[in-house]
Structure 1
Amino acid sequence: MTVLRSTLDPTSGDYAANRTAMLDKLAALDTEHAKALAGGGEKYVRRHRGRGKLTARERIELLLDPDSPFLELSPLAAWGSDYPVGASVVTGVGVVEGVECVIVASDPTVRGGSSNPWTVKKTFRAMDIAAQNRLPLINLVESGGADLPSQKEIFIPGGRLFRDLTRLSADKIPTIAVVFGNSTAGGAYVPGMSDHVVLVDRRSTVFLGGPPLVKMATGEDSDDESLGGARMHARESGLADHLAADEPDAIRVARRIVARLGQRTPDRPRRPVHPPRADPEELLGVVPGDLKVPFDPREVIARVVDDSDFDEVKPLYGASLVTGWARLHGYPVGILANAQGVLFSAEAQKAAQFVQLANAADTPLIFLHNTTGYMVGREYERGGIIKHGAMMINAVANSGVPHLSVLMGASYGAGHYGMCGRAYDPRFLFAWPSAKSAVMGPAQLAGVLSIVARRSALAKGNPYDDDADAAMRAMVEAQVESESLPAFLSGRLYDDGVIDPRDTRTVLGLCLSAVHNAPVRGADGFGVFRM
């Protein structure tokens, strides 16, 4: 066995400082997560329950198998925007009747569950995960449709929701809609385009146009029940496949539908799974508060993989990137982890070869980010850093096996791309509270702008205002710093959530279980590698 030997000293001052800084970040993150958990706030939750209704999260809890995990996705969506944190919808991956499913639950306590621009983006992300991993999609619907003041940002892109529902169905990925209340206007097409539809008697209403719109358009007087009530759809329109007596009954019916789907649970690893020998609790003290200080990613790997067992590949070559093989909850994985931050030509070539090896072995890849990007400078340009970085990006972009990414520290520049950032479609991407991501570090970006401005002034023969330059640099650094933080990036759905480092093994295990619902096959070929 090749067990990693940890050199982390939990009694050292550096460890204590790192741990304190991480716990402070986690506390701040808990405050933001609480905003999503609160939904529309105590007043609207109380009013919702007063109508005899369950909240979105209570519906999910009843739907899931008892004591099974729920991997929530994008809980900080819309953070930093004009819309409520969470984007008025709860999404995630959970187990229903032994089948892993993607669940999308509108939150009616937030503006009646109406969709804002971030609701749409968050829902699309959940549907992408269903499609990529061949997971049944369950929509728990109670929504007033689009948030009309935001229609200009919703209507055009929002049509993709219905397109993707039909494509999932065409690809034999089951879609289920359980309607608990209103499903209006465009929202009516969610049950309309789902394979299986459950409506709740005297609760569900599904129509393209409600009574006020019908009156305006046709002059016809109508009421909710006769226009789009559950009984009407069960007896006359045929939209409802199942008429439930109440919300718990609707969820019972949904579980029975999943049980009858005939979905085969993928083969799970048969060998015994041993937890890491190194203590995952110590992950709190691995990453320095100052990301300019390097840390050894092997300390992370030792606390995440089975039995802390890791077969490293090319340990003496391209040492700023650690590559090797391990198992995680029994699943074989290849790991690429940044060590000292900068990626040189050797690291890029090493990564490209390792990605090819993983594809030849049909083995999923895990990317652990802590990189400032590819090395710059005259020596490195002449040595071919562009073509070698392109080689790594080519390999990652054309890899066919599932990719899982975790941003631990810095993830800057093209290094973010080479390590399978969001634009390269990893199946899942999560961040630690210590992570930062941008085109470059705040000080570097401000410095570049300062140099350009100074040279421009000199070229024109104008004096340069050093005081104004200092103010500009401070402003730019503050802006880039705020826009590099995990909550900001997660709010824009550039990751699938910010997680406690101690949960990394569990989260990756759930992701690996999900991705194995679809075939895991390596690429048959890659683009042209510029040698």
Structure 2
Amino acid sequence: MQPFESSIATGSGEFASNREAMLAAIEKFRRVEQLPIEAAQARSERYHERGWLLPRERLNRLLDPGAPFVELCPLAGYKLFDDTDGSGAGGGAICGIGFVSGRRCVVRVDNYAVKGGTISPAGMDKALRMQQVALENRLPVVTLAQSGGANLIYATDTFAPGGRGFANQARMSAAGIPQVTVVHGGATAGGAYQPGLSDYVVMVRGQTGMYLAGPPLLKAATGEVADAESLGGAEMHCREAGSGDYLAEDDADGIRLAREIVATLPQPQPGPPDSGLTWQEPRYPIEEILGIVPADSRKPYDVRELLARIADSSALLDFKPEFDTQTVCAHIRIEGHTLGVIGNNGPITPKGANKAAQFIQLCDQSGTPLLFLHNTTGFMVGTAVEQQGIIKHGSKMIQAVANARVPKISIVVGGSYGAGNYAMCGRGFDPRFIFAWPNARTAVMGAAQAGKVMRIVSEQKMQRSGTVDDAALDKLEADTAAFLDAGSDAVSCSARLWDDGIIDPRDTRRLLGFLLETCREASATSSATSTFGVARF
């Protein structure tokens, strides 16, 4: 593969303006990420007095020092449901992929310090997403549990999905994916089944309280009076009921036990012959990636300029570049991993869809992972492209995306609109991972176009009735555009879990290297399956 020769003028005023706009967008989402951290820190004194570690203190003790950790869906639920101040970002839990005793794991830490760690519908969606990540990548799951359970205000929205979460746990155990849970605090009713369905359970003396009905409900339901310890304390469960497997003395000891349990798990099988990967860094500094994407989203740019900042040696092999210029297909390497890339230099044309569908099938045939870099208004429209079969060719591209068996990773680096989002492997097409840059926008169509569509449709209706109210049409157009614009920015989309998180563009290469190694490791991992999973008798 030949290095790509960049034509970006890094000393220009436009480059500087683009960079400043991107830095402002980065600052915006970083500020939102800090809200739940600050809310937890504000209550640290009261929890430390009880001998509890804060959620992120627990996380830091669990993870291997200095090893990479990729947090997933940190903005889930931001300003949704009853989150009025933004502190509920994260959906009641801190989740991600990290290393525990040298083993790559999915990690979940209930954020009990913010709203008791209660689970909103967004939090439930996040929990299900973490299980999907664990299943697809064959990763052990370590949970540090202490939650108030489902937010009862939204119980009708979380009840059925909660059942799916328990079913997933059972199936993960049967698939040979270990689940380790430390019960740091209360686990009541449905919350008791999460540790109950785990393969290894650690309980903390004097802190754990796990029961189907706590003392108040038990008294109300049956009249029986019982103290919390004898009803569902750690010592009872470890000595009598057998629901606990290990008894810890405090938070830190429970996390130590979890790390020791993970250390007993066998490491993934050795990788394929090319697992000892070597590579050369890109020829252009990653810092330059901040100034490439125009601050004005209507201005075009060459997606290959981005590839030159993330690909090994800045090298790529362009596929059918003369056939269509608006859909870029290329082979690159990132940290030694070969992958096929599909990026956008404009709307998807019939030729572009045809080209992409062929490229996807070639990558599927060779077992090459796919990377989608979204920046498109969607499929081209108009009489000419309709006559060229845009529906047919677009459908075949979507079909290829949906059915490709190789790992698919999406990064929304600009706009991702309409069916273009589907064709570029948006959330609905189950990419293995999907992240967004802070300037990203995802919607059914552009805000201005949506406003004009509503105006035209309403104006036609008014004309049929004989009265056209221009002032009302102006307001409808403006309100529609404002509504769609407010709900399509990166933070709003990430809050709805349309991606796995927003990233600083400068982290793109490093993140992709981590994700590609995660996918490679998954393909090399085998485990003993069973029919029902591990049971306690």
Which runs of structure 1 show a deviation greater than 6 angstroms over 4 or more consecutive aligned residues? none
Q: For the residues of structure 2 that align with 1:263 and 1:198, how far apart are their CA atoms?
A: 22
Show the 5 A alignment for 1:459-478: 459-460=464-465, 462-478=466-482
Structure 1, 508-517 or 427-436: larger mean CA deviation: 508-517
Find out whether 1:141 has 2:140 as its counterpart. Answer: no
Q: For the residues of structure 1 that align with 2:260 and 2:249, how far apart are their CA atoms?
A: 15
Q: For the residues of structure 2 that align with 1:398 and 1:405, how far apart are their CA atoms?
A: 15
Residue 240 of structure 2 corresponds to which residue in structure 1?
Answer: 236
What is the Cα deviation at residue 266 of structure 1? 5.1
Q: What are the Cα deviations for residues 127-155 of structure 1, in whole angstroms up to 9, with x where unaligned?
A: 11001111111111011222222222222
- The one-letter code sitting in structure 1 at the alignment partner of 2:196 is G
Equivalent position to 1:345, from 344, 350, 372: 350
Residue 528 of structure 2 corresponds to which residue in structure 1?
Answer: none
Residue 126 of structure 1 corresponds to which residue in structure 2?
Answer: 130
What is the Cα deviation at residue 39 of structure 1? 4.2
With over 3 angstroms needed to count, the CA separation of the structure-2 counterparts of 1:297 and 1:121, relative to structure 1, is: same
Equivalent position to 1:416, from 421, 427, 434: 421
Show the 5 A alignment for 1:334-373: 334-339=340-345, 341-373=346-378
Find out whether 1:290 has 2:289 as its counterpart. Answer: no
What is the Cα deviation at residue 265 of structure 1? 5.4
Residue 312 of structure 1 corresponds to which residue in structure 2?
Answer: 318
Structure 1, 87-96 or 29-38: larger mean CA deviation: 29-38
Q: For the residues of structure 1 that align with 2:314 and 2:253, how far apart are their CA atoms?
A: 46
RMSD of Structure 2 on Structure 1 (CA): 1.4
Q: What are the Cα deviations for residues 346-398 of structure 1, in whole angstroms up to 9, with x where unaligned?
A: 10000000000101110110000000000111111111000000010000000
Contact 1:287–1:434 (CA under 8 A) maintained in structure 2: no
Q: For the residues of structure 2 that align with 1:372 and 1:254, how far apart are their CA atoms?
A: 47
Structure 2, unaligned stretches of length 5 or more?
526-537
Structure 1, 33-42 or 137-146: larger mean CA deviation: 33-42
Residue 58 of structure 2 corresponds to which residue in structure 1?
Answer: 59
Find out whether 1:393 has 2:366 as its counterpart. Answer: no
Q: What are the Cα deviations for residues 438-465 of structure 1, in whole angstroms up to 9, with x where unaligned?
A: 11111111111111112222233x1211
Show the 5 A alignment for 1:208-247: 208-247=212-251
Find out whether 1:402 has 2:407 as its counterpart. Answer: yes
Contact 1:363–1:520 (CA under 8 A) maintained in structure 2: no
Residue 524 of structure 1 corresponds to which residue in structure 2?
Answer: none
- The one-letter code sitting in structure 1 at the alignment partner of 2:111 is D
Q: For the residues of structure 2 that align with 1:112 and 1:36, how far apart are their CA atoms?
A: 12
Residue 77 of structure 2 corresponds to which residue in structure 1?
Answer: 78
- The one-letter code sitting in structure 2 at the alignment partner of 1:290 is D
With over 3 angstroms needed to count, the CA separation of the structure-2 counterparts of 1:520 and 1:465, relative to structure 1, is: farther
What is the Cα deviation at residue 41 of structure 1? 5.3
Residue 329 of structure 1 corresponds to which residue in structure 2?
Answer: 335
Q: For the residues of structure 1 that align with 2:244 and 2:46, how far apart are their CA atoms?
A: 27
Q: For the residues of structure 1 that align with 2:122 and 2:44, how far apart are their CA atoms?
A: 21
Contact 1:412–1:441 (CA under 8 A) maintained in structure 2: yes
Q: For the residues of structure 2 that align with 1:513 and 1:177, how far apart are their CA atoms?
A: 26
Q: For the residues of structure 2 that align with 1:294 and 1:273, how far apart are their CA atoms?
A: 31
Find out whether 1:252 has 2:251 as its counterpart. Answer: no
Q: For the residues of structure 2 that align with 1:520 and 1:466, how far apart are their CA atoms?
A: 64
User: Which secondary structure state, in structure 1, belongs to the residue aligned with residue 421 of structure 2?
Assistant: helix
Contact 2:270–2:524 (CA under 8 A) maintained in structure 1: no
Q: For the residues of structure 1 that align with 2:137 and 2:330, how far apart are their CA atoms?
A: 25
Contact 1:305–1:505 (CA under 8 A) maintained in structure 2: yes
Residue 526 of structure 1 corresponds to which residue in structure 2?
Answer: none
Residue 27 of structure 1 corresponds to which residue in structure 2?
Answer: 27
Residue 168 of structure 2 corresponds to which residue in structure 1?
Answer: 164
Residue 446 of structure 1 corresponds to which residue in structure 2?
Answer: 451
Q: For the residues of structure 2 that align with 1:171 and 1:276, how far apart are their CA atoms?
A: 39
User: Which secondary structure state, in structure 1, belongs to the residue aligned with residue 185 of structure 2?
Assistant: strand
Contact 1:352–1:392 (CA under 8 A) maintained in structure 2: yes
TM-score, normalised with respect to structure 1: 0.95
Contact 1:40–1:111 (CA under 8 A) maintained in structure 2: no
Q: What are the Cα deviations for residues 229-278 of structure 1, in whole angstroms up to 9, with x where unaligned?
A: 11111100001111112222111111111111113155273232222111
User: Which secondary structure state, in structure 1, belongs to the residue aligned with residue 522 of structure 2?
Assistant: coil
Contact 1:39–1:107 (CA under 8 A) maintained in structure 2: no
What is the Cα deviation at residue 226 of structure 1? 0.6
Residue 261 of structure 1 corresponds to which residue in structure 2?
Answer: 265
Q: For the residues of structure 2 that align with 1:39 and 1:104, how far apart are their CA atoms?
A: 19
With over 3 angstroms needed to count, the CA separation of the structure-2 counterparts of 1:304 and 1:286, relative to structure 1, is: same
Structure 1, unaligned stretches of length 5 or more?
522-531
Q: For the residues of structure 1 that align with 2:270 and 2:5, how far apart are their CA atoms?
A: 34
Q: For the residues of structure 2 that align with 1:516 and 1:175, how far apart are their CA atoms?
A: 21
Q: For the residues of structure 2 that align with 1:226 and 1:99, how far apart are their CA atoms?
A: 36
- The one-letter code sitting in structure 2 at the alignment partner of 1:351 is A
User: Which secondary structure state, in structure 2, belongs to the residue aligned with residue 17 of structure 1?
Assistant: helix
Structure 1, 410-419 or 463-472: larger mean CA deviation: 463-472
Q: For the residues of structure 2 that align with 1:500 and 1:300, how far apart are their CA atoms?
A: 14
Equivalent position to 2:437, from 424, 432, 435: 432
Identity percentage of aligned residues? 45
Contact 2:277–2:337 (CA under 8 A) maintained in structure 1: no
User: Which secondary structure state, in structure 1, belongs to the residue aligned with residue 414 of structure 2?
Assistant: strand
Q: For the residues of structure 1 that align with 2:152 and 2:69, how far apart are their CA atoms?
A: 32
- The one-letter code sitting in structure 2 at the alignment partner of 1:369 is H
What is the Cα deviation at residue 493 of structure 1? 0.5
What is the Cα deviation at residue 337 of structure 1? 0.7
How many pairs align? 518
Residue 375 of structure 1 corresponds to which residue in structure 2?
Answer: 380
Q: For the residues of structure 1 that align with 2:426 and 2:289, how far apart are their CA atoms?
A: 22
Q: For the residues of structure 2 that align with 1:380 and 1:358, how far apart are their CA atoms?
A: 27
With over 3 angstroms needed to count, the CA separation of the structure-2 counterparts of 1:289 and 1:23, relative to structure 1, is: same
Contact 1:143–1:184 (CA under 8 A) maintained in structure 2: no
Contact 1:320–1:338 (CA under 8 A) maintained in structure 2: yes
User: Which secondary structure state, in structure 1, belongs to the residue aligned with residue 306 of structure 2?
Assistant: helix
Q: For the residues of structure 1 that align with 2:49 and 2:412, how far apart are their CA atoms?
A: 42
Q: For the residues of structure 1 that align with 2:201 and 2:41, how far apart are their CA atoms?
A: 30
- The one-letter code sitting in structure 2 at the alignment partner of 1:72 is E
With over 3 angstroms needed to count, the CA separation of the structure-2 counterparts of 1:434 and 1:266, relative to structure 1, is: farther
Q: For the residues of structure 1 that align with 2:239 and 2:56, how far apart are their CA atoms?
A: 31
TM-score, normalised with respect to structure 2: 0.94
Q: For the residues of structure 1 that align with 2:316 and 2:517, how far apart are their CA atoms?
A: 20
User: Which secondary structure state, in structure 2, belongs to the residue aligned with residue 374 of structure 1?
Assistant: coil
Q: For the residues of structure 2 that align with 1:93 and 1:326, how far apart are their CA atoms?
A: 25
User: Which secondary structure state, in structure 2, belongs to the residue aligned with residue 336 of structure 1?
Assistant: strand
Q: For the residues of structure 2 that align with 1:483 and 1:41, how far apart are their CA atoms?
A: 30
What is the Cα deviation at residue 520 of structure 1? 8.2
User: Which secondary structure state, in structure 1, belongs to the residue aligned with residue 7 of structure 2?
Assistant: coil
Residue 109 of structure 2 corresponds to which residue in structure 1?
Answer: 105
